Amino acid sequence: MGEQHVAEGVDKEELRRFTRALLDDVKALQQMVDGGHIESGIRRIGAEQEMFLIDPSGGPASKAMEVLETLDDERFTTELGLFNLEANLKPLVFGGSCLRELEDELKEVKRLAGRAARSNGAEVLLAGILPTLTKAHLSLDHMTPMPRYHQLNKLMTELSGGEFRTLIKGVDELQMTHHNIMLEACNTSFQLHFQVGPKEFAPLYNLAQLVTAPVLAAAVNSPVLLRNRLWHETRIALFQQSVDVRSKVHQQRGRRTRVSFGKGWINDSILEIFHEDISSFRVMISSDLGEPSTKLLEQGIMPPLSALCLFNGTVYRWNRACYGVKDNIAHLRIENRVIPSGPTVPDEVANAAFYFGLLAGISAQYDDVSKVLDFDVAKENFFAASRYGLQARFRWLDGRTANADHLILDELLPTARDGLLTHGVDEADVGRYLGIIEDRVRSGQTGSRWVLDSLAQLGDEGRPEERFRAMTGAMLRRQKRGRPVHTWKLARFDEMADWRQSFRRVGQVMTRNARTVHPEDVIDLAASLMNWERIRHLPVEDDAGRLVGIVTHRTILRLFTNGQMNGDPDKPMSVADVMHPEPYTVLPSTSTLEAIGLMRDHNIGALPVVDEDGRLVGIVTERDFIEISRKLLEATLREIEDQGTSNGLGTLPSARSVKKPSER
């Protein structure tokens, strides 16, 4: 998320001062580019590793501040969500053992983060989107308590009119309205940096845009969001919509979102990107301003361009232009933000090798890909890869159309290999990492494919909450073994960690897709639904989805017994005539113990579950709690039996050893 030191409660005058500093930074950068003050002639690579913190049951653990305090390592920093961490890795000269060194440091930071997390009751998981996330985790209670994040949330929420709308269609459909930017915290990525010189920036940036699609097609691992199966890399659609603050007027005028692939190739300079972004997006946050960058430059000091870098951190191009200074030497980088975190460190380094290899290999074949391919084609390829992964179809440089997997195997892997070898990367490392990509593509098992196939194998076993926890538990186990995802066996239901944690809150046990009726519906429809679905409680909601009552099986039975179901055929009875208005309700965050007590105290068999606005989100019934009780009793009896066996006390009689009455 970039620079953390921002001003709180920024007023308009301060924003104007910041904007003036921003423009001075752009002027200074132009002078540095024109005057040859930016490093060239060397290529370096780098990376940022984002990760999730999870609790013993596989759910998100909002313990980032405690884990960071335990770590006490300057490479680690916060992210938007308290259940996220980020590690910044050291830059490496592109060549030799750089890929192997990258893997070694990734393993080191993951090991250190994991150890610190475990000391705070959590674990570290690499995943583009955590499968166990729910809407309840996306409240401001789980936002990292840093001024930058809260200032961004305040301003973006105001610009959006108080709500963010999300609509993503895949196998399932996710349509929701949210009131803060915490949906962005659902994403974690493995961000790659490639240092380039100022004169070669434009053609290499265009090339980075082009190769992003095939790299992403092979790297997808985020097909699930809030229990919905969506795109193979759902992060792409989610991130764009989670911070979309455009007004309806701006949408109609075609203004791009702050998260975007861009709108065209660049021609000459990195300045084109900054000019476009400053022209398109408002300054939203400020920071303490030092001496103007142009004055520092006059003194022979390479300026940090703090205002420009802070502003750049609020515009999220999938390939972002970056500036930095170290030891008074300024440099430019291309930051690729597309690749998801995980599934394993070897998978990530393989993705990096493929990306860096394509940049090096194709740049040796084409001076500038913008001269041989329309930008819109590259953009179409990118979104096709996001939706379909290896099943995407691309239009490529020679004008032909090819499946992503065939293009990667037949053409792009050899090109990436040549590019890496030409830049002196160790041949054994090239073979190992690109071999992982080849095996993954040949098997067809990307991270996304593993998640989707695991869900299919789990079927209807247990509750949805348990299936997603089982899959997350399986993901963690396989990740710790460190073998690439194409070798993973599908998740099993018995891999769910600490399953008792799956029943603590109503939101974990409720039926989400509850059948409902409208107050104006005929009561016969309610009776038929209850008969067809074998349910005893039917929530009643209005056109806005707000709960207005409940119909019970007992009410229907009483009407039938009293002969009122048929009634006057010319004036059929409505649901509103017989429903119980203002039923007892609970929130998804209500504890199951509290819900059980409420049902017992008021002698009711079901509780509609509503959100803070009174809209129905599910229902929890006696049957749900009976099923939980059965599982808990079985587990307790097994523990007692195991303890008895270990103490030499024998076992409880099995079903086979209990005699039927006729056998006694």
pLDDT value at position 566?
A: 65
Q: Of all helices (H) and strands (E), which one includes residue 435? A: helix 427-443
Amino acid at site 528: S
- The CA radius of gyration of the chain, in Å to the nearest whole number, is 28
| Per-residue model confidence as pLDDT tens digits over 359-386 | 999 999 999 999 999 999 999 999 999 9
Q: Are strands 224-225 and 228-229 parallel, antiparallel or unpaired?
A: antiparallel
CATH code for the domain of 515: 3.10.580.10
Residue 482 in domain: no
Provide the token pair at 54. 């999870």
Residue range 245-265: mean pLDDT, rounded: 76
Residue 238 in domain: yes
Whether the pLDDT of residue 5 is over 70: the answer is no
Whether the pLDDT of residue 418 is over 90: the answer is yes
CA distance 156 to 154: 6
For the chain, give percent helix, strand, coil, nearest 5: 50, 15, 35
Work out the pLDDT band at 458, boundaries 50, 70, 90: very high
Residue 568 in domain: yes
CA distance 215 to 194: 15
pLDDT value at position 250?
A: 60
3-state secondary structure 159-183: HCCCCEEEEEECCCEEEEEECCCHH
Work out the pLDDT band at 592, boundaries 50, 70, 90: confident
Whether the pLDDT of residue 534 is over 60: the answer is yes
Q: Tell me how crowded residue 14 is: count the other CB atoms within 10 A of its CB.
A: 14
Whether the pLDDT of residue 560 is over 90: the answer is no
Contact assessment for residue 35 and residue 29, using Cβ atoms and an 8 Å cutoff: no
Work out the pLDDT band at 4, boundaries 50, 70, 90: very low
Which residue, of 308, 341, 374, is where some domain finishes? 341
pLDDT value at position 556?
A: 87
Residue range 511-525: mean pLDDT, rounded: 89
C-alpha triplet 477, 483, 489: angle, nearest 5°: 60
* Top-confidence residue, 622 or 476: 476
Chain Cα centroid distance, residue 467: 18
- Give the chain's domain count: 2
- The residues near 365 (Cβ < 8 Å, ≥ 6 apart) are 415
- Quickly list DSSP for 515-550: --B-TTSBHHHHHHHHHHHT-SEEEEE-TTSBEEEE
pLDDT value at position 273?
A: 97
Residue 351 in domain: no
Residue range 67-96: mean pLDDT, rounded: 97
| Per-residue model confidence as pLDDT tens digits over 45-64 | 999 999 999 998 899 999 99
- CA-to-CA separations, 397 to 72, 201, 265, 437, in angstroms, rounded: 48, 20, 15, 21
Helices (H), ranges, 220-292:
235-242, 248-252, 271-280
Q: From the DSSP assignment, how many helices (H) and strands (E) are in the chain?
A: 23, 21
Work out the pLDDT band at 3, boundaries 50, 70, 90: very low
CA distance 282 to 415: 41
Residue range 572-598: mean pLDDT, rounded: 90
- CA-to-CA separations, 439 to 301, 337, 351, 485, in angstroms, rounded: 49, 24, 12, 10
Which residue, of 341, 361, 395, is where some domain finishes? 341
Residue 34 in domain: yes
Which residue, of 341, 359, 383, is where some domain finishes? 341
CATH code for the domain of 160: 3.30.590.20
pLDDT value at position 662?
A: 43
Counted residue by residue, the chain has a size of 664
Residue 653 in domain: no
| Per-residue model confidence as pLDDT tens digits over 387-414 | 999 999 999 998 899 999 999 999 999 9
Q: Which of 90, 87, 63, 89 is nearest to 77 (CA)?
A: 87
pLDDT value at position 644?
A: 64
| Per-residue model confidence as pLDDT tens digits over 295-319 | 999 999 999 999 999 999 989 999 9
pLDDT value at position 646?
A: 57
Whether the pLDDT of residue 658 is over 60: the answer is no
Q: Which of 564, 560, 571 is nearest to 531 (CA)?
A: 560
CA distance 382 to 75: 31
Query: Tokens 């132009």 map to which residue?
Result: 30
Residue 159 in domain: yes
CA distance 347 to 478: 12
| Per-residue model confidence as pLDDT tens digits over 545-554 | 889 999 998 8
Whether the pLDDT of residue 502 is over 70: the answer is no
Work out the pLDDT band at 627, boundaries 50, 70, 90: confident
Residue 200 in domain: yes
* Top-confidence residue, 136 or 226: 226
Work out the pLDDT band at 285, boundaries 50, 70, 90: confident
Query: Which domain range does residue 201 map to?
Result: 12-341
pLDDT value at position 248?
A: 63
- The residues near 61 (Cβ < 8 Å, ≥ 6 apart) are 53, 54, 55, 83, 117, 121, 122, 123
Q: Tell me how crowded residue 482 is: count the other CB atoms within 10 A of its CB.
A: 12
